[in-house]
């Protein structure tokens, strides 16, 4: 058995370690608490009410599609349900293919680019005694047929019409069809 003073020293060392650990813990806890209480909130911590308009349920949208051929089409559409209550930034995230030109709570104007030709391109050909107009993308889709007096055409006209004429707009098509009447 060891002398009594050995056990007393060992007990005092334990008490000192425990006291030092307790003081360090207390100081760190007090410092952390003071830091949290006196810290000013960062700008990201503050929720700022948005002043941006959001789309209402009765809103409409005007969507302009720009085609690679240079033509465009504009449609007035009801607002899709997924866009109700969304701000301009949220709509841009949902539809990155749209360029938003005008935005308020009841009306949105957007445009999108398409890398295809529109449906306003036609092919005009002579078949028998008819002028047949088809869609240039799908020649099986007949747009219109018009009877013609073939004897009034020159040989050169017949050759050109048999080969086919590419027409780039509905307006141009109507002008050409009028000239055959």
pLDDT digits (tens, 9 = 90+) for 66-125: 998 888 899 998 888 888 888 888 899 999 999 999 998 889 999 999 988 888 889 999
Of 82, 133, 73, 83, which is closest to residue 107 (Cα–Cα)? 83
Please determine, for residue 177, whether its predicted confidence score (pLDDT) is greater than 70. yes
Position 53 scores a pLDDT of: 84
Residue 34: in which H helix or E strand, if any? helix 4-38
Terminal C-alpha separation, the chain: 131
**For residues 108 and 136, what is the distance between their CA atoms, to the nearest angstrom?**
33
**For residues 160 and 24, what is the distance between their CA atoms, to the nearest angstrom?**
99
For residues 132 and 18, the model is more confident at 132
Of 117, 113, 135, 133, which is closest to residue 125 (Cα–Cα)? 133
CB-based contact 127:164 (threshold 8 Å): no
Top mean pLDDT of 20-34, 64-78, 140-154 is at 64-78
Protein fold of 60-113:
Ubiquitin-like (UB roll) (3.10.20)
Of 113, 99, 102, 28, which is closest to residue 65 (Cα–Cα)? 113
pLDDT digits (tens, 9 = 90+) for 32-82: 888 777 766 555 555 555 677 888 888 899 999 999 888 889 999 888 888
Position 42 scores a pLDDT of: 59
Q: Give the number of C-alpha atoms closer than 13 A to the C-alpha of residue 107, restricted to the C-beta side.
A: 5
Averaged pLDDT, 148-164:
87
Averaged pLDDT, 17-40:
82
Which band of pLDDT confidence, cut at 50, 70 and 90, is reported for residue 21?
A: confident
Ranges of CATH 3.10.20.420 domains, the chain: 60-113
Residue 63, strand partner residues: 75, 110
């Amino acid at each position: 058995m060891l002398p009594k003073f050995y056990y007393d020293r060992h007990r005092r060392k334990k008490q000192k370690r425990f006291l030092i650990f307790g003081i360090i813990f207390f100081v760190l806890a007090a410092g952390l608490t003071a830091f949290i209480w006196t810290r000013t909130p960062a700008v990201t911590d503050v929720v700022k009410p948005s002043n941006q308009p959001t789309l209402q349920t009765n809103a409409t949208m005007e969507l302009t599609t720009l085609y690679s051929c240079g033509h465009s089409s504009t449609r007035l559409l009801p607002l899709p349900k997924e866009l109700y209550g969304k701000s301009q930034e949220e709509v841009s995230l949902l539809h990155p293919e749209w360029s938003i030109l005008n935005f308020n709570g009841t009306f949105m104007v957007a445009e999108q680019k398409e890398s295809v030709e529109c449906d306003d391109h036609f092919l005009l050909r002579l078949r028998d005694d008819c002028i047949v107009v088809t869609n240039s993308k799908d020649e099986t889709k007949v747009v219109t047929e018009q009877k013609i007096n073939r004897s009034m055409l020159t040989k050169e006209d017949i050759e050109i019409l048999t080969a086919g004429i590419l027409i780039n707009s509905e307006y141009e098509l109507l002008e050409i069809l009028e000239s055959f009447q």
